[in-house]
Structure 1
């Protein structure tokens, strides 16, 4: 009974794709007329699309048509998959060479769709064809149209002449062949397990699941928070193959790099503020040694020490963040901590002196300098 079910699913999928494609023939034809001069950057391509197509679906279809028609699959690079390359570099390379692999296809579609003002996300994962798991990772896109997240795989539709099979597909159908590393991008609840994907089994889905609410909350996170959330979800799932394991390692490496970069900025800020605090304190001491000559307004003298306080507050905050970091520190925070602590009594000593000097009479003020 399983075989007829598969035939039924395939027929439904083809019928679904064909039915939704009927309204896009005019879009496809119009998109092929884009001037060559406007096909040299994703910004110009998006501008042409916005000027010629009104609905969100038409604009996504126009972008999809341009990518799948103009970019040829690079067979020489089909086994080279680089998660770490800059998406902008992938876009530039594909535009210039007019060929690429899945990363280039998805990066191009994502970039054009975003420049049309629509929501999109590049997804990484692995795939299954004819019942067998592919040995190379894959990349595709999720796009938000008419209040629904749908999925596209421009790589698998590259060069189509009739009906694309992987354009704006419902997540419940797309999961038959595409498994994202991060379960959130299945856009299903509950998500299918890696084991179930391997076996080709399915399960009942929650029809009331609001994928947009979940995805929106995820996209509102900063980069580090997104990576940490993704790593947690992937870790909870079974890492059945090297692709999943490598992706998890890659995400953890990116998290460590972000934290390390933050630490570098924190360390640099502390050093800079430490130098400023020391300079400001020495400026006051030098002025005190000259017995506050030339004379300045009382407020101006007090500001000299107030500036030191300001710098020390910044130092304290950054040192706390640096000390609480989870990364392997390459910076000598302990030495900075010692310098910070040594400045505090020196500053207090000058504050006490200034307080005594301000409260003293004119005659007493002269004597205070010699005590």
Structure 2
């Protein structure tokens, strides 16, 4: 499944820092030895003296925001990537990236030290203005509570087309009820709210509108997500987005994009089903060939007739199972349909071979 490369960056750094004093952690988290190059090495170095999950997250946030620069050259470029590890490898090699790189690296570091974290994609409001450009950030779960973190905005801002590295403490560990004022996830489950804000409310900056959703058990939904296959995840995400009220142009594009990914995942699943049917068919063919060799190499008599019949019955059963499995494959993909039709003809031919040999064995019993 491919994903959009999300690009947006906060234009100016505003916000009030939290009162918690992280100065000691910050001081020891600004750098890591140059030979530490993987998320696991970096995260473990940053956190090996820390016991609190919040302190560990702080160390990771501080290091990323001080050592990763925003890649302005990619600001107006769109692209796709197939795996978060590609984004992580890219940003660690160049020490610069866009928001997708920041969020992927943050999650990889959290994963390395056992912190439950998520990558969240959505769009934003900057300085009171709605920006319909994709953005990516993170959330962590600590002490049973969810907190939002935006390492991209925490790293700095753009000024006259250039990135200014300027640490923003206000993007660290934000309560969802506050974060939703500036960050709207595409999927409402990542609002971490039993009463998610609708897209219209966010877009109009009117959180008292009449477009209200019914109660939503986001916690159970998040737990379920990890148990689903990619196709089911995409289908349920589509349902949640569709139910969250009036959509803007960006959200319609996201739904189209998800729909294309659903088609890809459906093709993958149907191809897997097809390949399993082929495997069963091949087992039957091998059993049939074993029967043919036995007929050629031994003289058929009453003592071995039962064994030969058993081999032929096994081949028939495999062939029947392969046909049943082939009939379960449903696809509009022309290439797979062509393979499927050819495969069904092979099954029919094998049935003919088996029936011919069955008639031959019956004649020997008489």
TM-score clears 0.5? yes
CA apart distance, 1:294: 11
Q: Indicate yes or no: 2:82 matched with 1:77.
A: no
CA apart distance, 1:307: 4.3
**CA distance in structure 2 between the aligned counterparts of 1:48 and 1:95, rounded to whole angstroms:** 15
Distance 1:249 1:209, change over 3 A: closer
Distance 1:306 1:167, change over 3 A: farther
Distance 1:222 1:318, change over 3 A: same
Q: 2:259 aligns with which of 241, 244, 252?
A: 252
Q: Indicate yes or no: 2:270 matched with 1:263.
A: yes
SS, match of residue 125 in structure 2: strand
Aligned length: 340
* Conserved? CA contact 1:148–1:212, under 8 Å: no
CA offsets 1:134-188 (integer angstroms, 9 cap, x no match): 1421111121111112111110010476651111111110000001111111111
Q: 2:24 aligns with which of 23, 26, 32?
A: 26
SS, match of residue 171 in structure 2: coil
Q: For residue 231 of structure 1, what is the aligned residue in structure 2?
A: 238
Distance 1:113 1:303, change over 3 A: farther
* Conserved? CA contact 2:88–2:104, under 8 Å: yes
Distance 1:165 1:342, change over 3 A: same
Q: Indicate yes or no: 2:172 matched with 1:176.
A: no
Q: 2:138 aligns with which of 141, 146, 157?
A: 141
Q: Indicate yes or no: 2:63 matched with 1:66.
A: yes
Q: Indicate yes or no: 2:105 matched with 1:108.
A: yes
* Conserved? CA contact 1:151–1:170, under 8 Å: yes
5+ long unaligned stretches in structure 2: 1-13, 157-164
Distance 1:297 1:288, change over 3 A: closer
* Conserved? CA contact 2:54–2:142, under 8 Å: yes
Q: 2:33 aligns with which of 32, 35, 59?
A: 35
CA apart distance, 1:89: 1.0
SS, match of residue 117 in structure 1: coil
Q: For residue 123 of structure 1, what is the aligned residue in structure 2?
A: 120
Q: Spell out the pairing of 1:214-225 with structure 2 (5 A cutoff).
A: 214-225=221-232
**CA distance in structure 2 between the aligned counterparts of 1:233 and 1:85, rounded to whole angstroms:** 23
CA apart distance, 1:126: 0.7
SS, match of residue 189 in structure 1: coil
* Conserved? CA contact 1:125–1:181, under 8 Å: yes
CA apart distance, 1:336: 2.5
* Conserved? CA contact 1:149–1:211, under 8 Å: no
As a proportion of its length, which structure holds more helix?
1
* Conserved? CA contact 2:196–2:216, under 8 Å: no
Q: For residue 53 of structure 2, what is the aligned residue in structure 1?
A: 56
CA apart distance, 1:293: 6.6
The 10-residue stretch of structure 1 (130-139 or 298-307) with the greater mean CA deviation from structure 2: 298-307
* Conserved? CA contact 2:149–2:171, under 8 Å: yes
Q: For residue 170 of structure 2, what is the aligned residue in structure 1?
A: 165
Distance 1:368 1:240, change over 3 A: closer
SS, match of residue 143 in structure 1: strand
Q: 2:343 aligns with which of 304, 316, 336?
A: 336
Q: For residue 192 of structure 2, what is the aligned residue in structure 1?
A: 187
Q: 2:96 aligns with which of 77, 95, 99?
A: 99
TM-score (norm 2): 0.81
Q: 1:284 aligns with which of 284, 287, 291?
A: 291
Tell me how large the CA RMSD over aligned residues is: 3.2
The 10-residue stretch of structure 1 (211-220 or 232-241) with the greater mean CA deviation from structure 2: 232-241
**CA distance in structure 1 between the aligned counterparts of 2:100 and 2:246, rounded to whole angstroms:** 22
SS, match of residue 184 in structure 2: strand
* Conserved? CA contact 1:81–1:137, under 8 Å: no
**CA distance in structure 1 between the aligned counterparts of 2:100 and 2:260, rounded to whole angstroms:** 20
